[in-house]
Amino acid sequence: MGRRDLFSSCLLICGDHMQKNLFSARGVAVMGVLTAISYVLYILPKFIPTSLPIFPSWLDLQISDLPALLGGFALGPVASIIIITVKCLLKLPFTTSLGIGELADFIVGVAFVFPATLIYNRNKSKKSALIGMTVGALAATFAACIANRFILIPFYAGFYGKGDGALGMSILVGAVSKLYSGVTSDNFFAYYLFLAVVPFNLLRCLITSAITYFIYKPLSKYLH
């Protein structure tokens, strides 16, 4: 299949689901419920600590992409993007990062759920679900590295340093050095991205994917 055929296939899948299921009364209701659940899972780490001692404390292990995966499997990839988008918008009034954190969460979330649900909807089978979620996990991990390198860390360096990026970076280095003793300002990203961001996001996506794999079939009759 050529690139043009693949692109046309993607448009066909998205358009077909939008026309048949997505904006029906039931489709909107399902997306609303899943978005609400996604938002609760998104803010849950603020009340129940979910950080792991092997990662920096600000990396909370949350599975808020789970409802978007379920919705995308049932209603198509566009539904998964809508759920992710509304979830992030709902958190904006309470942001502590001027929306930067929410932007990064949106990018990583879409990178995970869109390819996963797109691949599954091309051929609905357990094999396609596994392939889709694997591709999504890899895409999300790559997106998380890009977001941390060029969006999140520069923002927090400036924030903690009160405009002084070098000072803010030294604060971040100090926090990360509790886990990785050899980290410095010069090698910060090599340590942080490959020892924290990559394994953390792979683990997060693995947990989300495993739960989705086992609960989607029992829930599918309620989602369709």
pLDDT in tens, 82-125: 999 999 999 998 888 889 989 999 999 999 999 999 999 999 99
Give the C-alpha separation, 216 to 117, whole Å: 12
Question: Are the C-beta atoms of residues 87 and 34 closer than 8 Å to each other?
Answer: no
Give the C-alpha separation, 165 to 18, whole Å: 45
- Phi and psi of 200, rounded to 5°? -65, -50
Q: Using pLDDT thresholds of 50, 70 and 90, give the confidence band for residue 36.
A: very high
pLDDT tens-place string over residues 162-219 = 999 999 999 999 999 999 988 999 999 999 999 999 999 999 999 999 999 999 999 9
- The neighbour count for residue 166, using CB atoms within 10 Å, is 9
Q: Which two tokens stand for residue 206?
A: 């693995």
Where do the domains of the chain lie, and which CATH numbers do they carry?
3-43+59-223 (1.10.1760.20)
**Burial bucket for residue 5 (CB in 10 Å: 0-12, 13-18, 19+):** exposed
Question: Are the C-beta atoms of residues 137 and 202 closer than 8 Å to each other?
Answer: yes
DSSP-derived letter for residue 97 is S
Give the C-alpha separation, 14 to 16, whole Å: 6
Give the C-alpha separation, 120 to 11, whole Å: 14
Query: Which amino acid makes up residue 69?
Result: L
Q: Which two tokens stand for residue 35?
A: 């978005």
57 CB-near residues (< 8 Å, 6+ apart): 51, 175
**pTM of this structure:** 0.89
